[in-house]
């Protein structure tokens, strides 16, 4: 679980309960390594969730489908 963490996530328990990840990182970065190795459950909910990629609009999808079926030109045809 070494994804990107929300720096504003507050610890709910432990030595730094009530502190944000950013505050702990600035004061004792070794503690974060200790958590990763020994108590990773303390970081449940701290990962930044990425939004799913939006689907292309219908016109973009039709354009892609149309163009992917075109064969590349040979150098003789291009010049």
Residue 60 lies in a domain: yes
Q: What is the pLDDT of residue 73?
A: 75
Which of residues 17 and 4 earns the better pLDDT score? Answer: 17
Give the total number of structural domains in the chain: 1
Q: In the structure, what pLDDT confidence band is assigned to residue 23 with cuts at 50, 70 and 90?
A: very high
Q: Which domain holds residue 58?
A: 1-70
pTM exceeding the 0.85 threshold for the entire prediction: no
Residue 78 lies in a domain: no
Residue 10 lies in a domain: yes
Which of residues 12 and 59 earns the better pLDDT score? Answer: 12
* Cα–Cα distance, 44 to 57 (Å, whole number): 35
Q: What is the DSSP string of 25-77?
A: HHH-HHHHHHHHHH-GGGGTT-BPPPPPPPPPPHHHHHHHHHHTTSPPPPHHH
Condensed to tens digits (0 to 9), the pLDDT of residues 32-67 reads 889 989 988 888 888 777 777 766 665 555 555 555
């Amino acid at each position: 679980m070494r994804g990107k963490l929300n720096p504003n996530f507050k610890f709910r328990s432990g030595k730094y309960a009530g502190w944000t990840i950013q505050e702990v990182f600035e004061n004792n970065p070794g503690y974060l390594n200790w958590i990763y190795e020994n108590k990773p459950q303390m970081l449940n909910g701290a990962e930044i969730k990425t939004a799913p990629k939006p689907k292309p609009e219908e016109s973009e999808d039709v354009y892609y489908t149309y163009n992917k079926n075109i064969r590349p030109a040979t150098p003789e045809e291009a010049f």
